[in-house]
Chains A and B, each alone.
Chain A
Amino acid sequence: MEQIVSVISAFFTDAGPGGVVVLSVIVLASFIYLILIRWILQADEDDELSAPPKAGRDFRQRSFNK
């Protein structure tokens, strides 16, 4: 238990770990924003995938062509 406390304490008092926080926040934000932008742009494809395929046409082929 003492070791855990000392590790946590070191995080706040030692020089160095602060940079990890900065980089972690920025990297995490980048990841989330990238996912959101992809989600917005893929709206048409997702909509098409969720729609029932029209008769006489290959649904998967239509998606790949897009």
Chain B
Amino acid sequence: MPEQRINKHESSILAPLRGPTNGDRLLWAILVGLVGLGGYAYYQQWTSGLGVTGLNRPVYWGVYITNFVFFIGLAHSGTFISAILRLAGAEWRKPLTRAAEAITIFSLPFGVSSILIDMGRPERALNVIFYGRFQSPLLWDFTAVSLYMFSSVVFFYLSLLPDIALCRDRLTDAPAWQQWMYRLLALGWQGSPQQYHRLERVLDGMAIFMTMLVVTVHTVVSWVFGMTVQPGWHSALIGPFFLLGAIFSGTAAVVIVLAVLRRVYHLEAALPVSLFNSLRKLLIVFTLGWLYMMVAEYLTIFYGSLSEEMAVFWQKFSGDFAWMFWTMVVMVFVLPLIIYVFLGKDRIGWMVTASVLVNIGMWLERYVVIVPTETRPRLLYELVIGTYTPTWIEGAITLALFSGMILLYAAFTRYFPIVPVWETADVVEEAAETTPRRRWGIQRAGTK
């Protein structure tokens, strides 16, 4: 790569790529241990059946499906930050796009795994291919999530391509296997203005597609519930509600990840406080949007007062799940709104605190959406009252899924630049001024 392409932030961004430290190895060992514990728990489930979990009749879906919805939601962060903000011409997103996209890439497989784990007989997933019926929301879900995962990987890889080539050219003292990996993945990228121009065009085009896909995916995920006639699920609002919650929790997750990366890898210059302030404004909007959805959903149910709907409604508001429901409200809405509005500006610590609360709260929200409905199903709702208590098997597998995701993410940041060098490089900005950038009526900052 020509010398003039050296970004002023380049050295600081590439610094973490000098190999794992002892601290990394310790963290990785702990995470591998937790994944191993989850593997043992899954072995128990595999050999003994789903009876070792808390799942039963009529509560067929529990922690695993909660994890599925939560991971898919987290995965929306990358697409939102990278694709939607790209289309909106928000230039401030550039330093954090890869950190957000990496969340997408590393959370999606664990979302899909959650489904397979929940099935008990995972090989039956192939039945969707061999015997799938087009009218089944499960088939839509399978199609949408598969395409989303595949497209996200391509989108992520394309935006990573110039930086892989940078690693190939710069990290000549890296171990041989690492250099070989960079050479292989760089696909012979030369970094010419023509290549950058085409890359930008493809990424812009894919951003439109990814935006449509992200809306489709989480809406279809919600339809797995919404297309049933179960109380609490059968609502036209469930799609937008799921989508907003997904983008909300995903964006909050980006705040957490950015803060950790900034601290651990000393990326204060590349990830300035202003980034967090921009995310703070988005999160305030999402918090209020989430409240709007909550009120619209539950007020409508309350005024309808259908007996089967009210059975679930009161389970959440004052019944067995009330503690979880109100904890969720406090963690997703009350505390985060106070923190984001009054304490979050220029204070990363507070931003992280609120974002952690949001993510824990959003996990609880998924649980509260799924399980109470099953304990009070429409059919025989007066005769059957379901109960569900997760076992250690489900807890260990959940822990393993989150540990696996963190492990992959942490390992990735040690071998690939987590801040896109080429998108933040001044020289590329200058080169971009010589190429037509106005498309779809969107005027980019810095272009004429």
Which A residues lie at the B interface, using CB under 8 A? 11-19, 21-23, 25-26, 29-30, 33, 36-37, 39-41, 43-44, 46-47
Scoring A18, A25, A30 by chain B CB atoms within 10 A of each residue's CB, the highest score goes to A18
Given A12-B134, A40-B158, CB of A18 within 8 Å of CB of B128: yes
CA distance A39 to B201 in the complex (A): 11
Q: Which of B136, B158, B187 contacts A18 (CB 8 A)?
A: B136
Contact of A37 with B128 at beta-carbon distance under 8 Å, contacts A25-B147, A47-B194 already known: no
Whether B147 lies near A26 (C-beta < 8 A) is yes
Cβ contact within 8 Å between B190 and A13: no
- Bound CA span A47–B192, Å: 10
Which residues of chain B are near A36, meaning CB under 8 Å? 202
Q: Is the CB of A15 within 8 A of B195?
A: no
How many Å lie between the Cα of A15 and that of B139 in the bound state?
Answer: 11
Q: Cβ of A46: which chain B residues have Cβ within 8 Å of it? A: 194
* Top 3 A-B pairs, shortest CB-CB distance: A18-B132, A19-B129, A43-B194
Complex alpha-carbon distance, A40 and B139, angstroms? 33
A39: nearest chain-B partner, CB-CB = B198
The reply to whether B135 and A16 contact each other, CB–CB distance below 8 Å, is no
Contacts of B189 in A (CB 8 A): 41
8 contacts between A and B (CB under 8 A): A16-B132, A21-B139, A22-B146, A26-B150, A33-B154, A41-B187, A44-B192, A44-B195
Whether a CB of chain A sits under 8 angstroms from the CB of B133 is yes
| Additional pairs, 19, CB under 8 Å, beyond known A19-B131, A22-B142, A47-B192 | A11-B134, A13-B135, A15-B133, A16-B130, A18-B136, A18-B139, A21-B132, A22-B129, A25-B143, A29-B151, A33-B154, A40-B158, A40-B198, A41-B195, A43-B197, A43-B198, A44-B194, A44-B195, A47-B194
- Given contacts A26-B147, A36-B202, A37-B187, is CB(A19)–CB(B130) below 8 Å? yes
Residues of A within 8 A of B139 (CB): 18, 21-22
Q: A-contacting residues of B (Cβ < 8 Å)?
A: 128-136, 139, 142-143, 146-147, 150-151, 154, 158, 161, 187-190, 192, 194-195, 197-199, 202
Compute how far the CA of A14 lies from the CA of B134 in the bound complex, rounded to whole angstroms.
8
Contacts of B131 in A (CB 8 A): 15-16, 18-19
Which residue in B132, B142, B158, B195 is a CB contact (below 8 Å) of A17? B132
B386: shortest Cβ distance to chain A, in Å? Answer: 30
Q: Are A21 and B134 in contact (CB under 8 A)?
A: yes
**Chain B residues closer than 8 Å to A19, beta-carbon distance:** 128-132
The answer to whether B147 touches A29 (Cβ under 8 A) is yes
Q: What chain B residues lie within 8 Å of A39 (beta carbons)?
A: 198, 202
CA distance A22 to B130 in the complex (A): 10
User: Chain A residues near B146 (CB, 8 Å)?
Assistant: 22, 25-26
Q: In the complex, how many angstroms separate the beta carbon of B151 from the nearest chain A beta carbon?
A: 7
> Which residues of A have CB within 8 Å of B161?
40
Q: What chain B residues lie within 8 Å of A12 (beta carbons)?
A: 133-135
A13→B132 CA distance, assembly (Å): 10
What residues on A are CB-neighbors of B143 within 8 Å?
21-22, 25
- Nearest chain B CB to A34's CB is how many angstroms away? 9
How long is the Cα–Cα vector from A11 to B161 in the complex, in angstroms? Answer: 41
Q: Nearest residue in B to A41 (C-beta to C-beta)?
A: B187
**In-complex Cβ contact of B134 among A17, A33, A37, A47 (8 A):** A17
| CB of A44, distance to nearest CB on chain B (Å) | 5
